[in-house]
Structure 1
């Protein structure tokens, strides 16, 4: 599923995640931790893979077009668990 959000919104979600969430998401989705970090704006393509995000400059850090929202969906689910 495609989705577009601002870079600042994406970073806010990442920054709100509890400690260990990058590893949890990586384990649950069978990805490397660096690939998950790259989804949230990291740039380690030696140890991680590209994750289908496209950046367009603009206000609020610009727009991020996501080709696949699976990582974002897991992050949001973890945040919902924390707010129960």
Structure 2
């Protein structure tokens, strides 16, 4: 797994102007960023091996949960039905 150094995490937050409400959220977001970084690295190895035709990179969305990312990218949520 790709580890994220304190310096790398601080640089990410600074570059994308990120701030979190408390230490717990900061740690959760850091974990999401770490997962994103691992996904990017695995994908880019495939790119280098000619298995895919495009590269991935870390961006301002790299600290979002899957649900937050889906919502931000237009996923429609169906409200629960009452019984």
TM-score between both structures, scaled by the size of structure 1: 0.29
TM-score between both structures, scaled by the size of structure 2: 0.29
Task: Determine which structure has the larger strand proportion and give its number.
Answer: 1
